[in-house]
Structure 1
Amino acid sequence: MIRFLRTGLLVFLFSIGISPLIAEDFDIHGFVQTNFSLRIAATGEARTFSGKPLPDYLLGDERVQLEITRFGATTQLFGKIDLFYDAVDKLADLDVREAYIDLTLGKFDIRAGRQIITWGVGDLVFINDVFPKNWVAFLSGQPLQYLKFGSDAININIFPKFVSVQIIAIPFYRADVLPRGERLLAFDPLPTIANREEVQPEMSFKNTQIAGRLYRYLGNFDFSLYFYKGFWGSPPGMILDSADNLLTFSHPRLNVYGGSLQGAFLKGVLSVEGGYYDSRDDQQGTNMGIENSQIRFLAGYQRALGENLILGLQYYGERIQDYTEYVQNLPSTFPQRKEWRHTLSLRLTQLLKYQTLRFSLFIFYSPNEKDYYVNPEVRYDLGSGVWFAAGGIFLGGEKDYTFFGQFEKNDNVYFILRYEF
């Protein structure tokens, strides 16, 4: 029913936007792509959560994307649709990536429909950006554009003189896509619970997600203040019914308050961001099935080391609030997380051959949890809209339950070939 309503809303929004655009020009772009990823990690006797043999390929994706833009004097209509075939599951499907209408009314810019929303200044670290993400795509070697997917939202930007204002309302909840132990193996604290279900927030006025941002330039820096009222996207809450041997994944209420700044500093770009995660359904930190409130922050710096060499460094910190209560209420079968998680990241990008050849390396490393994520990649532009990329994703750590350590059996190499038009 909810899916039907979403589709109906998108069709309605498109229909009301088409009429003033009928006589205007439109652009069509897109690409044809093949993308596969091969697991190279030793898995031993591991099987999927459902008991099936692990597939050798994490990804076998053949895809066509069409991007259609139609322009009017004060209106723009935009759609991005993927047709794809999943060779691993032998499944063909259609994905409406984005479908929205832009309206400009004086000092108001209004965008209504499915849209990918990006906030914050982190490099693959998201603090105030609580909009939906596909972590399976991120770990499987899909292009980074598939890490995020669209929200069905109304997005309003207002431009008074002193400060710009952004207000977002999201009536239809879309949860993060997380590894569930099928293609990607992940740590499971309750492996014997076979019956599982996920309950998402009901579609109602009180469950509408609300987000707001105040932003402006001061000197060389772009400052933003953020607010979000909604639900945890990941990790989800857990409710265990021992009598029925049932584990229910839920999405508890969450408020986020934060800020960021980004601008030129010492011949490079400085980025700073922080946020407070207010876990509304676990204010005392005593419910083991709901994430405690948290403080999250980052600082990053990027600069060119030469004409075609770019270095990026970043620190990310995360602290669990009410940590004593968390420890006291943690079941004995659950591993105990550290109060603090520190993560360092490095990004190196080298461009060669008139910037048609790109070597890149991205690394996450946690010095206190001693786990890592490493992604080397080479990309070559063949010209006429054709490019290919090959890379690897390597994960691991000392413990099999830490953030990256739990994915150590998912090391993979991937290949992408794309023709853009």
Structure 2
Amino acid sequence: MRMKFLVLLVWTCALMGGEAPFGFEAHGFFDVRAGFRLQNDATQRDTSLAESRLQLDLNRMGEWTTLQIRGDAVYDDVIDDRDIDLETGRGWFDLREANLLFSPNRSMDVKVGRQILTWGTGDLLFVNDLFPKDWQSFFSGRQTEYLKAPSDALMMSFFPSFANIDLVYTPRFDADRFIRGERFSYWNGNLGRRAGRDAVVAVDRPDRWVDDGEWALRISRTIKGYELAFYGYDGFWKSPAGQDPVRGLATFPELRVWGASLRGGFGKGLIHAEFGWYDSRRDRDGEDPTVGNGEIRVLLGYERELAREFTLGVQYYLERMLDYENYRASLPAGLVGRDRNRHVTTVRLTRTAMNQNLTLSLFGYASPSDNDFYLRPSVSWKVTDAWQVFAGGNLFGGSRDHTFFGQFEKNSNAYGGFRYSF
């Protein structure tokens, strides 16, 4: 109740044009969204999205430090559980950021606390960005910014003359907010069918402080207009990639990733390329069917403006499983296996009009190897500086129930809503 009272107090101060308590600057928005399924799913409700969200963003800048607190008060009618869980984002309150930024010297920045972290070059495809994602938000029609889930971390940035260096330490593993079954149905390999609320995924999540921590490193430099970066990660698979067959729990095996990226101008557009080697440390030979195999991931992309206020972006993405022969040999009888290679192509079309107040967008994924797809059409209209209305959809399809996008076919949905910013 105290938190609810503080949220309402700060919101009232912001709307009245006054200064928030304790010298903070207050900004935020009130967002209402509703969505419905386009297909019947016996394991889920017909409503895919029904929520009201109040976000408050509080900033206090001092001479040497900046303090930021950003959180959402949420009424979510799709999920019955109202108890707050800051790790999974469930409940009536989601703390997005609560961090302190300071600079010990001119060549170093430090940010400590809850923060949104992202790096890499992909457009809604991720190779070396091993920070948590919220796939439930992404598939339901929330703003794209909610795809990035928060991390509780220490980030240190160094700026020597030869490169920029970012080092992130997360003292306790931050997993993805992955598809569990309570909001969207998914392919359950143990049951051999799609499942949802009738078989919510139970997990054994690494949750010890320090012992189950994560490290992420990025070293970047711009050379003749091209940004070159190298990455390292040591932690766990961000979504479940293993099984504990005795307890019937999904697990997060140890993972180490090394990668690189390149981004810069090419012709009349921009190109980007990214590579990642996923070392599944618990089973490097691929002989344990309860642990996900290592992979090589490759991403290539190009973006350019085709006409005034009309932009095209295309990408090619590859996941190639390592030790594939051992994987096939160890696969239990009757269990549907993966292909060695998963190919994905994406297209983004963006058209703006009315002084860029109207935005029409289509983002599409298509996998020729899985023979499935995912389309994200959307339209948004900025009525005034404060008011915005929008509508869109999440459309899935595929010829097989167990492929990545095909498993979500019955989750196809349409949504709409409005936002008031202050």
TM-score (normalised: structure 2)? 0.89
C-alpha distance 194-137 of structure 1, shift in aligned 2 (>3 A): closer
Secondary structure of 1:146's aligned partner: helix
1:215 aligns with 220
In the alignment, structure 1 residue 36 sits paired with structure 2 residue 34: yes
The 3-state SS of whatever aligns with 2:202 is strand
In structure 2, the partner of 1:268 is 269
Q: What is the DSSP-based 3-state SS (H/G/I as helix, E as strand, rest coil) of the residue aligned with 1:207?
A: coil
Contact 1:135/1:178 (8 A) holds in 2 = yes
- Does residue 380 (structure 1) correspond to residue 381 (structure 2)? The answer is yes
SS of the equivalent of 1:383 reads: coil
- Residue aligning to 2:163: 163
Instruction: Specify whether residues 302 and 253 from structure 1 end up closer, same or farther in structure 2 by C-alpha distance, changes over 3 A only.
Output: same
Distance, in Å, in 1 between the alignment partners of 2:78 and 2:288 is: 38
1:340 aligns to 2:338 (yes or no): no
How far apart are the structure 1 equivalents of 2:137 and 2:332? 32
Partner of 2:134: 134
Report the CA distance between 1:324 and its aligned residue: 0.1
Supply the distance in 2 between the matched residues of 1:399 and 1:178 (Cα, whole angstroms).
Answer: 21
Alpha-carbon distance in structure 2 between the residues aligned to 1:111 and 1:239: 36
Tell me how far apart the structure 1 counterparts of residues 141 and 283 of structure 2 sit (CA, whole Å): 35
2-side partners of 1:197 and 1:351: how far apart? 43
Structure 1 CA distance, aligned partners of 2:21 and 2:357? 39
Q: Which residue in the other structure is 1:50 paired with? A: none
1:203 aligns with 2:204: no
Q: Where do residues 71-82 of structure 1 align in structure 2 (5 Å cutoff)?
A: 71-82=61-72
Task: Specify the code of the residue in structure 2 equivalent to 1:89.
Answer: I
Name the amino acid aligned to 1:171.
Answer: P
- Do structure 1's residue 86 and structure 2's residue 87 form an aligned pair? no
- Aligned pairs for 1:104-115 within 5 A: 104-106=103-105, 107-115=107-115
Q: Which structure 2 residue ranges, 5 or more long, are not aligned?
A: 1-19, 83-90, 193-197
- 2:50 is equivalent to residue 60 of structure 1: yes
Secondary structure of the residue aligned to 1:133 is: coil
Shift of 1:88: 2.2
How much does 1:35 deviate? 1.3
1:161 CA drift (Å)? 0.5
Q: Aligned-pair distance for 1:194?
A: 6.3
Separation in 2, partners of 1:88, 1:197: 19
Show the counterpart of 1:97.
96
Q: Do the aligned partners of 2:40 and 2:46 also contact (CA within 8 Å) in 1?
A: no
Query: In 2, distance between residues paired with 1:149 and 1:368?
Result: 29
Which shows bigger deviation, 252-261 or 81-90?
81-90
Query: Secondary structure in 1 aligned to 2:145?
Result: helix
Residues 195 and 109 from structure 1, CA distance in 2 versus in 1: closer, same or farther, beyond 3 angstroms? closer
Q: Does 1:248 align with 2:264?
A: no
Matched residue type, 1:371 = D
Q: Note the C-alpha offset of 1:236.
A: 3.2
Asked if 2 retains the 8 angstrom alpha-carbon contact of 1:127 and 1:273, the reply is yes
Letter in 1 for 2:288: N
Query: What is residue 405 of structure 1 aligned with on the other side?
Result: 406
User: Does the 8 A contact of 1:282 with 1:290 survive in 2?
Assistant: yes
Q: Residue type matched to 1:267 in 2? A: K
Tell me which amino acid in the other structure corresponds to 1:40: L
Mean Cα displacement is larger for which, 223-232 or 172-181?
Answer: 172-181
- Post-superposition Cα deviations, 1:343-399, rounded to whole Å, max 9, x if no partner, equal 100000000111111110000001121100011111100003110110111101111
Structure-2 separation of matches of 1:351 and 1:99 = 34
Q: Secondary structure at the match of 1:178?
A: coil
Match of 2:242 among 220, 237, 240: 237
CA RMSD in angstroms, aligned pairs only: 1.8
TM-superposition CA deviations, 1:103-162 (whole Å, max 9, x none): 012211000000111010001101111111111111111111111111110000011101
Q: Percent identity?
A: 38
Mapping for residues 248-397 of structure 1, pairs under 5 Å: 248-397=249-398
> Once the two structures are superposed, what CA deviation does each residue of 1:215-265 show, in whole Å capped at 9, x if it has no partner?
111011111100000001123311112xxxx41111110000001111111
Contact 2:122 2:272 in 1 (8 A): yes
For residue 211 of structure 2, give the secondary structure of its aligned residue in structure 1. helix
CA distance in 1, matches of 2:379, 2:267: 29
Are the structure 2 counterparts of residues 196 and 362 from structure 1 closer, same or farther at C-alpha, using a change threshold of 3 Å? closer
Query: 1:282, 1:109 → 2: CA distance?
Result: 37
Query: For 1:80 and 1:194, how far apart are their aligned partners in 2?
Result: 33
For residue 312 of structure 2, what is the amino acid of its counterpart?
A: L
Alpha-carbon distance in structure 2 between the residues aligned to 1:134 and 1:209 = 18
Question: Could you tell me how far 1:25 is from its partner in structure 2?
Answer: 5.5
Give the deviation of 1:182 after TM superposition. 2.8
Map 1:155-194 to 2 at 5 A.
155-191=155-191
* Equivalent-residue separation in structure 2 for 1:383 and 1:23 (angstroms): 28
Unaligned runs of 5+ in 1: 1-21, 48-53
Q: Which stretch shows the higher mean deviation, 91-100 or 307-316? A: 91-100
Q: Indicate the SS of the match to 1:187.
A: strand
1:225 aligns with 2:230: yes
Q: Which amino acid aligns with 2:114?
A: R
CA gap 1:299/1:124 in 2 versus in 1, 3 angstroms: same
Q: What is the rounded CA distance, in whole Å, between the counterparts of 1:309 and 1:195 in structure 2?
A: 42
Q: Secondary structure at the match of 2:148?
A: coil
**2:79, 2:182 within 8 Å by CA — same for their partners in 1?**
no
Partner in structure 2 of residue 416 of structure 1: 417
- Report the Cα distance in structure 1 between the residues aligned to 2:297 and 2:65, rounded to whole angstroms: 38
In the alignment, which residue of structure 2 is the partner of 1:5?
Answer: none
User: Counterpart in 1 of 2:13?
Assistant: none
- Structure 1 stretches of 4+ with a deviation exceeding 4 A read 22-25, 192-196
Q: Which residue number in structure 2 is paired with residue 118 of structure 1?
A: 118
Change (3 A) 1:385 1:23: closer
**Deviation digits for residues 295-316 of structure 1, max 9, x if unmatched?**
0010000011111000000000
Shift of 1:195: 9.3
Q: Do the aligned partners of residues 24 and 179 (structure 1) sit closer, same or farther apart at CA in structure 2, a change above 3 Å counting?
A: closer
2:348/2:364 contact within 8 Å kept: yes
